[in-house]
Structure 1
Amino acid sequence: MAYGFSLDDVAFLRSAAGRAALADCAALPLTDASRITDVAAVRRSVGERFAAAVLETVVLRRKSALKLVDADSWLFTGDALQQASATAVARHRASRLAGRDVHDVTCSVGADLVELARVASRALGSDVDRVRLEMARHNASAASVSVGVVQADALRPVSRDTVVVADPARRDSAGRRTWKPADFLPPLDELVDAYAGRALSVKCSPGLDFAIAPWAEEVELVSLDGHVREACLWRGLNTGVSRRATVLRSDGTQWTVTDTEPDDLPGSPPGEWIVDPDGAVVRAGLVRHYAARHGLWQLDERIAYLTGDTAPPGVRAFRVLEHGPYSEKALRATLKRHDVGRLEILVRGLDIDPDALRRRLKPRGGAESTVVLTRIGRSPVAFVCRAERIPSEGSPEA
């Protein structure tokens, strides 16, 4: 069970003695094997009263490095860190509100609030949890940004004429993930009603049924390094966009496709490449728009695999070596002919277990290949491919 921080814990951790204790303990291994020794060392350093808070903070800071940038001196609770947006995602969302007055009504420990404060005209954060608010105050100071922080219920507005940013908690009282917007904290409909007529930015799970949010003028799906991280429901930005997919990379590159772009595609046989669009594009329903941008077309109008004679820049695409009707016997013969031993199997539109199929195929050659199994119309098709990373535009390899 996660440690429950108190206001006294936060005050100690922010003090000179607390900072010294955290620095002393930062070098501890904190493994299962060293647990008893580590706990004893921390208790000797800071005493029984604050040992658990120091240990938990060191552990959480290490975990934060996987998603947050320059947060090695921040304070967290376990739940708050788990829900916090990765820095690249929070930074992108904040960039869309640059120059505006912004109020984060569920600011928690301030991961989003800090990024908003970097670009907003003014940034205010509020939360019902006093411990998290004090952590947010500390984290904003550590990030050298200016924010206002107040204790307030998100359903009781305490600001006017600001864009309202919210990230409702999506777990119930037992810690189980919930998919019902009525069970969010605060409930989604109540949150929207509380800020009628106000510009809104609400972070949600990418698996949310967006039909339950008819008030959202734009739904944006965001991925980072190939993983879909969140959906953001926007109101009041007046972009003319209904659906947007934003693809971010840790190297700082990014691109966006929207439903305002053309989506007319040719009907042609399979080309030289198979392309699996980023998950944000698929989830946003923008596969055709992405394909049209890059001169691609669909293998089947109901399946997200794309094909074409040129692969888009900056993606992992599959150069087609051979393709034909799928049968296990025919595929085994094709793999043997290409001397395939290391095999990746991708499946879409067919009821096939890739791992079980790989065991049955027993590839034993020296070459590496990717097999894409899908259907065109009602016919199952197998593409034997070579996976290639296409250089991004402007890279030395391009």
Structure 2
Amino acid sequence: MERSELVELLSPGGLRLLDSLPPYDPAADVVRVVSELRKAGHSPDLVTAVLGQSRLRAKAVPKFGEFAGRMLFTEAGLEQATRLRVAALHAGRFAGASLNRVVDLGCGIGGDAMALAAMDLTVTGVDADEVTASVASYNLAPFENASVLQSAAEDVDLSGFDAAWLDPARRTAGHSNTSRLTRPEDYSPHLDFVFGLSERMPIGVKLGPGHDRDLIPAEAEAQWVSVDGKLVEMGLWFGALARPGIRRSALLLGRTGTNELTAPRDSEDAPVGVLGDYIYEPDGAIIRARLIGDLARSLDARMLSEGIAYLTSRDLQRTPFATAFRVLEMLPVDEKKLRLALQERRIGTLEIKKRGVDVDPATLRTRLKLKGSESATLVLTRAAGQRVALLVERIPPLA
């Protein structure tokens, strides 16, 4: 969204037009819709803006739920925005530590700032980009205890704040068609500034879940967050926002509730054991937090092979931290023999999971020439260092 589109959109007529549109339909005839709006006397910039916002509001529903229908977005801002459910947990840290005046440095479209304000904290959002700051101002308008400042994070006077939240920009500049930055030194604000700020006040920092673990400051609590099985972020917490004795945490948010595994440090892997009747695939947050060993011990399980994130046990132990599979049989690893084995079992639909082996599941699935009415799950991995092909049955998750 360009500045000219935003100006049109923020006019009373622009907002009324946006709110009057029917629910976004990706199958709609866009040319016809544009033509009708232009015939009604609306400018090209306004038509572009309202249709773009209608699409983004629909796209934002998984992150913001019913609130998406009254918010404004930029493409890039929505991409990096925190899910409201996760933002509420961020805000809870500040509220729980009685840190009432919070500055959100790099607030984007204002998702985290909204959650902070909803906790009755006084929050100031800061963003260097004019359009993004304006969008955040609109989204935060319902909160009397929230304001937005257009400024570089490094230029803000922090003397009036108790704590800071930072979500460094990890995409190239712009409002759409941006790309992910792969080098932490290119983030904005720079991580030297971010981590240096922790020496002045309590801070929380949102980073990508794949962030280089060697760059995590020793004094930080690092928490990897998974939502409905999808790894979404790594949060770093400093000072009063970090919990005593916890340096590694895996937080899982699912349809059935919240579960967390914590530790004072990376856990040591469990010993490698003989393949049992069950294998377990830990959630991505467990793997990134390097808590696989602690999970294995809680399940009375062993590593299936050294350095591979599959566990195995003789008896089934239900856990929210891993997906369990019952091992039905071991199939041949040789591709030709494997194809024949699957044909004998009339398997026409095959989910292929793999770890520790150089296989492209999509390519292999094509080469297997699957035919039949049955469906199955195949795990290609290593057991005690040797390649194995396991036909497994997924155990339903905990209700």
Identity fraction in percent = 34
Aligned residue in 2 for 1:9:
6
1:299 maps onto 2:304 in alignment: yes
Q: AA paired with 1:90?
A: A
- Compute the displacement of 1:310 (Å): 1.1
Aligned residue in 1 for 2:90:
93
Specify the SS of the correspondent of 1:85. coil
- Compute the displacement of 1:110 (Å): 0.7
Q: AA paired with 1:291?
A: A
Aligned residue in 1 for 2:37:
42
Specify the SS of the correspondent of 2:132. helix
Matches within 5 A, 1:1-398: 3-6=1-4, 9-10=6-7, 13-27=9-23, 29=25, 31=27, 34-43=29-38, 44-48=40-44, 50-69=46-65, 70-98=67-95, 99-101=98-100, 102-119=102-119, 121-142=121-142, 144=143, 146-160=145-159, 161-173=161-173, 175-194=178-197, 196-214=199-217, 217-236=220-239, 237-239=241-243, 240-249=245-254, 251=255, 253-260=257-264, 265=270, 268-308=273-313, 309-314=315-320, 316-323=323-330, 326-332=333-339, 334-336=341-343, 338-392=345-399
Q: Would the aligned equivalents of 2:120 and 2:145 in 1 still touch at CA under 8 Å?
A: no
- Compute the displacement of 1:127 (Å): 1.8
Q: AA paired with 1:258?
A: T
TM-score under structure 2 length normalisation = 0.86
1:27–1:328 CA distance, 2 compared to 1 (3 A): closer
1:105–1:133 CA distance, 2 compared to 1 (3 A): same
Specify the SS of the correspondent of 2:282. coil
Post-superposition CA distance 1:284-327 (Å, at most 9, x none): 21111222223322111311011122142455421111126733
Post-superposition CA distance 1:340-386 (Å, at most 9, x none): 33222211111223233333333434332211111123311221111
In structure 1, distance between residues paired with 2:348 and 2:57? 42
In structure 2, distance between residues paired with 1:27 and 1:265? 51
1:211–1:26 CA distance, 2 compared to 1 (3 A): same
- Compute the displacement of 1:89 (Å): 2.3
Question: Mean Cα displacement is larger for which, 329-338 or 277-286?
Answer: 329-338
Q: AA paired with 2:335?
A: E
Q: Any gaps of 5 or more consecutive residues in structure 1?
A: 393-398
Post-superposition CA distance 1:250-306 (Å, at most 9, x none): x26121112249767465422221111111111121111222223322111311011
Q: Would the aligned equivalents of 2:282 and 2:323 in 1 still touch at CA under 8 Å?
A: no
Q: Would the aligned equivalents of 1:340 and 1:364 in 2 still touch at CA under 8 Å?
A: yes
Q: Would the aligned equivalents of 2:331 and 2:338 in 1 still touch at CA under 8 Å?
A: no
User: Please, what is the CA RMSD of the aligned residues?
Assistant: 2.7
Report runs of 4+ in structure 1 exceeding 6 Å deviation. Answer: none
Q: Would the aligned equivalents of 1:220 and 1:231 in 2 still touch at CA under 8 Å?
A: yes
In structure 2, distance between residues paired with 1:346 and 1:327? 16
